[in-house]
Structure 1
Amino acid sequence: MLAMKLNLTHFAGFNHVISLQIKETKITRLCHEKTALTVNGQFPGPTIYARKDDVVVVNVYNQGNKNITIHWHGVDQPRNPWSDGPEYITQCPIQPGANYTYTIIFTEEEGTLWWHAHSDFDRATVHGAIVIHPKRGSTYPYPKPHKEIPIILGEWWNVDVEQLVKEVQRTGGDVNISNANTINGQPGDLFPCSKDGTFRVAVEHGKTYLLRVINAGLTNEMFFGVAGHNLTVVGTDASYLKPFTVESIMIAPGQTMDVLLEADRATDGSCNSRYYMAARTFATNTNIDFDNTTATAILEYVDAPPSAGPPEFPNLPAITDIAAATAYTAQLRSLASVEHPVDVPTHVDEHMLVTIAVNVLPCGSGNETACTGPGNNRLAASLNNVSFGNPSIDILDAYYYSIRGVYEPDFPNRPPFVFNFTDPNLPQTFWPTKRATEVKVLEYGTVVEVVFQDTAILGAESHPMHLHGFSFYVVGTGFGNFDENKDPETYNLVDPPYQNTVAVPKAGWVAIRFRAANPGVWFMHCHFDRHLLWGMDTVFIVKDGKTPDAQVMRPPPNRPRC
């Protein structure tokens, strides 16, 4: 009956129904107690388990004190933008005391994804892992691990994150940095009042463990490693990779990495029995404040004599080591096997060059010195010099019901003017942007290539760009200004990684390709939450195709109202 009501009869997987209760909970970290939003009283929230092709129905009850939405990060949601989650894009928020039912449709995803709040800065504490196992009768393309362990990298603020947002909106300045990076919600025993809560992993010699690493942080790319152990990377963003072995990984906000750890250290007392897992910020713009703390967890051999000394510490790259981050991401290549093939589009219908920038807008208070951004302006951000403004009702409803005046269908394919985008000495005349709600409309089936180009306006830096509704092939990347005549010759069209979030390098570019065969309204944005707040985002509207299975599903009942 449920499948018929939601028009899901052609999805063959098993249906699960679960409940998530959002409520205020007292949490103590760094000797400081505060009240924060959590899910089912947990921080991080519960892990959602499914198999490939399953459908999971999630009843979300907002028992908190503010509006909220939930996004299922990396799930394509075919024909079902109604359950994607970003506030004022595909839905109005769930108000306190109300509830909403999301339907998560898993199709091609297999591996690790995650869910999180998609409203204000709520995802600082409202998030959790999604584990998608192979469908019944199939298995991993690598030996089955002894145990699977979600490792969620995040950040902790002693203050209420809602106050962070209000302060930024009031002053127009930057967001105060977090007080600590975290692993599974804990900063680790290098911090005061944190020893007892430090996350611990018990292992046995000779067994292999699958670490499902998620960067749920709001502001930091991260290096992650485990002392004394190499990591074999086998997947990213719920897609398998050609395995490769490294000492540490670099993971951007929004991304997931599946890594195998072999517990191969001696247990006869000749080696330490405890080893730190550690996560450290990778900072590409040191001209702005950043959290330079190191979060730790402890991996401990339970079949070895206890060590008297402290755990060994991993050799992580330096905070500013761009070369290490670049070398790591260059090794990401799709598995491209018979069981897990790739389908890289070789013909492109629509080319887009999208510049990424931090900008300014007038303070707007009538007092030209009231804002604390550069030049007493208000900090903003843009794509192709358009700073996205959230409408008063969600874009999906406006599109589906043909409500006029909510958005303009004219997001540009190219920036309004061309200059040396990566020049570190750009004049202040490049600072301003414009605020608008502009979207890009695509015909069903269009093959799109987007080249993200970082700019040095108010400082070059890396940007984790995330696309809802699609995974995409990362066909090329480089430093400097993209050259449309030469750089496509360097593309990898054989086995590029298949991701939903890609780190655009500082003062560089990334090229992605996807086929717009998922009708609906789909958000695209930077996964640094301050940049999202400032307007570094836009929307793709993919029109319906000609057949019923190429058209948006009908909206579910009881959708939240603005």
Structure 2
Amino acid sequence: MVTRLCTTQNITTVNGQFPGPTITACNGDKLVIRVTNRAAYNVTLHWHGVRQMRTPWADGPEYVTQCPIMPGGTYTYRFTIEKQEGTMWWHAHSKWLRATVYGALIILPKPGSSYPFRKPKIDVPLVLGEWWNTNIVDELMQAMLTGTAPNISDAYTINGQPGDLYDCSSQGTMKIAVRSGDKVLLRVINAALNQELFFTVANHTMTVVGADAAYNKPFTTSVIMVGPGQTTNVLLMADQPPARYYMAARAYSSSQNVPFGNTTTTAILEYKTARGQTSSPVLPQFPPFNDTATVTQFTSQLKSIQSLDKVPTNVDENLFFIIGLGSVNCTPGPTCQGPNNTRFAASMNNVSFVLPSETSLQQASYQNISGIFTTDFPPSPPLEFNYTGNVSQELWQPTPGTKLYKLKFGSVVQIVLQDTTILSAENHPIHLHGYHFFVVGQGFGNFNPETDTAKFNLIDPPVRDTMGVPVGGWAVIRFVANNPGVWLFHCHIDTHFSWGLAMSFLVENGKGNSQSIEPPPADLPQC
């Protein structure tokens, strides 16, 4: 039972904690995490940002790499952290339970190794989230039943607390105590279901040193934007007059037609010599909620300092995916209350992804079970059109399907991700499971291979696992398909994922055991 915003309700948690426990490990460690489901719902956990070589069974999304853990069941996740440091996180990957089932996963340098910057005195994860005063599974079921968008959340949160600006919330507001001159590492994680968020600290600048568990060339900024699924590490110097300052997050809403919660969640950066002050903390300045220019300026400054991973130049698979919303016709009535008596839908290349229910995609692939999926996901749109123009309503309706795209082990993959203006253009945070990728280019309007390819950054592009495709624009990513298995590729806005904005890659085994999927564990849940 948890009380927020003057309301008490029963929520799903891990180990009775909200947010769940922070897991701290070192680069090179093997993690063994035993999960027993005592909740009322089926559940899986996803270890976000972990590149799990040969162990897709540990990835976690329900009906993709595993069947869910049923109430009363137990499953043990086993994986090794390989050549990764920084901020990851874990969360439920089933039925929107991510609203309350999430926590930080911190990967420190190996013993004897160090950060590429001076070690901070204070190291704090800040997990941003959303809160509903109602049962989140009921919210999902209502939205899927009616075919409409879900209700917006009642609050945003920092480490599970809404903060001083909401009713009945100031008592639990998170505080970080510092002394003048302290260097603070803030590990900002966006665990919100459906909202991209600006984050800033009043009167302080931040130095961005990492994103999605990869270091970057440091740069300073007064505000960052994190989409659902993304993490950003920032260093902050306690160099302001001793006082109390708000750390705060509020919505970045890129779509013109989507309602959002126009409120602000806060935590407090408190200088120890200012304790006992009765004045309110200093409020930060935020950009306008739809300030895409600020978002673009921020993301364009991210440059990689990775020395082990080189950008592949010889592309084997050149894919072009259009992504976005849409709607499908249905019989008018209580289950068809979307725009013009339709149901909301979403798709990649006009395929609206449908999860199986009899078994997981990974199990079906490994055991050669037929009839669960096909491998004919289109490598390019079935029809070319002006993706960011005035799109005819005849092109609004995607086709449902469980289609995978097969990749040979070791192939170099390039994907152009093109947003569309069907219903509304929007910044989509697209997440690839099992891999990091290079973001070699991005821009607005329709991607032009003749002119835009020449502008690719093949020297120091950012390394990410979740990329915000610009509103009404495009992004290009590259990766080497050296992790065999079935890997989900989807929008991390959970509403969009539920509507079908996803697909999966089937990466074939390579040569020998070191390039092949390990056998499934004995306790793998069955459907």
Question: One fold, TM greater than 0.5?
Answer: yes
Q: Does 1:307 align with 2:277?
A: yes
Checking the alignment, whether the CA contact within 8 Å between 1:370 and 1:376 is kept in structure 2 is no
Q: Measure how far apart 1:266 and its partner are.
A: 2.9
Matches within 5 A, 1:356-435: 356-363=323-330, 366-367=331-332, 370-392=335-357, 393-423=359-389, 425-435=390-400
Letter in 1 for 2:169: S
Correspondent of 2:451 among 471, 486, 495: 486
Q: Say what the alpha-carbon RMSD is for the aligned residues.
A: 1.0
- Return 5+ residue gaps in structure 1 as ranges: 1-25, 268-272
Letter in 1 for 2:45: I
Q: Which residue of 2 aligns with 1:12?
A: none
Give the Cα separation in 2 of the matches to 1:544 and 1:225: 44
Q: Does 1:293 align with 2:263?
A: yes
Cα 1:147–1:403 shift into 2, 3 Å: same
TM-score, structure 1 as length reference = 0.92
Q: Which residue of 2 aligns with 1:464?
A: 429
Matches within 5 A, 1:31-430: 31-267=6-242, 273-304=243-274, 306-336=276-306, 340-363=307-330, 366-367=331-332, 370-392=335-357, 393-423=359-389, 425-430=390-395
Correspondent of 1:546 among 511, 515, 518: 511
CA displacement, residues 451-493 of structure 1 (integer Å, 9 cap, x when unaligned) = 1000000100000000001000000000000011111111100
Give the Cα separation in 2 of the matches to 1:508 and 1:323: 13
Checking the alignment, whether the CA contact within 8 Å between 1:51 and 1:132 is kept in structure 2 is yes
Checking the alignment, whether the CA contact within 8 Å between 1:86 and 1:119 is kept in structure 2 is yes
CA displacement, residues 254-285 of structure 1 (integer Å, 9 cap, x when unaligned) = 00001001111234xxxxx1000010100001
SS at match of 1:486: helix
> In the comparison of the two structures, how many residue pairs are matched?
526
Q: Measure how far apart 1:362 and its partner are.
A: 2.7
SS at match of 1:487: helix
Give the Cα separation in 2 of the matches to 1:86 and 1:344: 28
Q: Which residue of 1 aligns with 2:526?
A: 561
CA displacement, residues 124-168 of structure 1 (integer Å, 9 cap, x when unaligned) = 000000000001111000000001000001100001000011101
Checking the alignment, whether the CA contact within 8 Å between 1:369 and 1:376 is kept in structure 2 is no
Cα 1:71–1:370 shift into 2, 3 Å: closer
SS at match of 1:196: helix
Give the Cα separation in 2 of the matches to 1:37 and 1:177: 19
Give the Cα separation in 2 of the matches to 1:467 and 1:514: 10
Checking the alignment, whether the CA contact within 8 Å between 2:256 and 2:424 is kept in structure 1 is no
Matches within 5 A, 1:498-517: 498-517=463-482
Q: Does 1:477 align with 2:469?
A: no
Q: Measure how far apart 1:228 and its partner are.
A: 1.3
CA displacement, residues 429-461 of structure 1 (integer Å, 9 cap, x when unaligned) = 121111000000000001000010000001000
Letter in 1 for 2:321: V
SS at match of 1:36: coil
Q: Which residue of 2 aligns with 1:534?
A: 499
Letter in 2 for 1:255: Q
Identity among equivalent pairs (%): 50
Letter in 2 for 1:487: D
- Return 5+ residue gaps in structure 2 as ranges: none
Letter in 2 for 1:396: Q
Give the Cα separation in 2 of the matches to 1:333 and 1:444: 28
SS at match of 1:38: coil
